[in-house]
A and B are shown apart, each in its own frame.
Chain A
């Protein structure tokens, strides 16, 4: 059930992301996609681990899992964002 819900959310998020990229005429480099994918997989892993920790009565673990997850997510998605949006103005300027 967890993976079903996450699958729907990831699909909806992916559609929104592609739409936003197209509207803004952004074409991320392949390594930006890799960073994005690592961040996404990390987020899914942290969500799975947090739900599992709740079942294990290890609620205290969740805060730290989320902390680590947010840091990794911030680093990977932040870098992907900068790599993508950082070169967009120069592309449109050259066009």
Chain B
């Protein structure tokens, strides 16, 4: 098993001569097709996209693209999340030991100026994340208008659902979303309890947070899912405090984008509830809204940025035209690839070829046939690393910046010719993708504004 080591140069795997020749021939065919203008669409070349704004190798489907057992699926209590329950799985002794290790590793990094975990790295991390500390329902995540909507005497904005969807998407992209999708609100993905309060739907005009309950109006029938790309350059440094800066900045941008979009909708005269990780399960909601597919890590894999995104959502009663779920070969590819699980420092990801109904703990929502992550093992690795991890994001073959059509050709090939998936996963290693970069070099190379190096 390949383990990701802190000082390793990352993945490396031999490729046989036969595989190499096979790949050379495949690359020849692909390069010929690409250079002849048959290359699949890309983020960089937006002109070559399908009618619904995704690359041409992405297909829309009518049905949720994961097997669901409705008899087992129940609304999730966010109190069962890994951050709340991992310590229970560890037991008090291990929990205390892990806290001691985390503190020791953190201090060692700062005091010994370890690249990626020194003082400037920690400062970058905490600066990036400072907007994420707005609690659900407060500040940017406020459930009520920040500025009371002006009464112009014309009532709420009126238009067709298609026009409403266009307005919302234009505003979301303007505020900083990488991609945006809209779906009918599926209440199965809304938490049963959140932040120690019951989440209920009632016939009320406005959403309200009470002492023991959070009340969502019955008329809230739509959800807008937002994908916020993270810095590729920083994620390439995982697992360090600097890759945690990418994650933390993603969280800050989630609050920023969702909060501003919710306020936009309120100013149109409708109800809007901005959410980060709170209120509902972001991944299935984003799948409903056509932003991507679920992968082996349990995270969303987007066609544009792979798993290197954070997700936010806005719930609203503004009637909008909805998007459909999309597929582009992720589940098939993940069956064969397994790079994330092989490199996971905590052995938290499933190495099984097929997804499973069997949950690994209370942190998983039952009733979904997916690769089930072991959150206790994942968070144990975080403690031991003294920082967030993100190794699974770094090594995923879908985590690619859009600076060359090569990645679009490869993703298009995965989508249309799944028999080449095993070869592509091996070639990704052979080419040297997913290798951890030098943290100190990041400071010398002035990156792009807002860390938007994936655009």
Contacts and interface: CB of A to CB of B under 8 A. Distances in A.
A51 B405 CA distance: 11
Contacts of B36: 41
A77 to B, nearest CB: 12
A44 B35 contact: yes
A52 B435 contact: no
A46 interface: yes
Given A41-B31, A56-B232, A72-B27, 4 more contacts: A42-B28, A45-B35, A48-B406, A55-B404
A46 B27 CA distance: 10
Interface in B217-275: 232-233, 236
Given A61-B432, A68-B23, A56 B403 contact: yes
A88 interface: no
A38 B32 contact: yes
A71 B26 CA distance: 13
A71 B405 CA distance: 20
Given A44-B35, A58-B432, A61-B432, A68 B403 contact: no
A38 B24 CA distance: 13
B192 to A, nearest CB: 43
Given A42-B28, A42-B32, A72-B24, A53 B435 contact: no
A26 B307 CA distance: 54
Contacts of B430: 64
A42 B34 CA distance: 9
Interface in A40-79: 41-42, 44-46, 48-49, 51-53, 55-58, 60-61, 64-65, 68, 71-72, 76
B432 A55 contact: no
A30 B435 CA distance: 44
Contact of A64 (B232, B404, B431): B431
Top 10 closest pairs, chain A to chain B, by CB: A52-B404, A45-B31, A41-B35, A52-B403, A49-B406, A55-B403, A60-B432, A42-B31, A56-B401, A49-B404
Given A45-B34, A49-B404, A57 B24 contact: no
Contacts of A52: 403-406
B446 to A, nearest CB: 13
A56 B404 contact: yes
Contact of B31 (A46, A51, A57, A60): A46
Interface of B: 23-24, 27-28, 31-32, 34-36, 232-233, 236, 400-401, 403-406, 430-433, 435, 437, 445
Q: In which size bucket is the chain A interface?
A: 20 to 34
B22 to A, nearest CB: 12
A72 B403 CA distance: 23
B455 to A, nearest CB: 12
Nearest to B34: A45
A42 B35 contact: yes
B32 A57 contact: no
Nearest to B21: A71
A38 B27 CA distance: 11
Contacts of A57: 233, 236, 437, 445
B445 to A, nearest CB: 7
Contacts of B433: 58, 61
A41 B435 CA distance: 29
Nearest to B409: A45
Contacts of A55: 401, 403-404
A94 to B, nearest CB: 35
A51 to B, nearest CB: 7
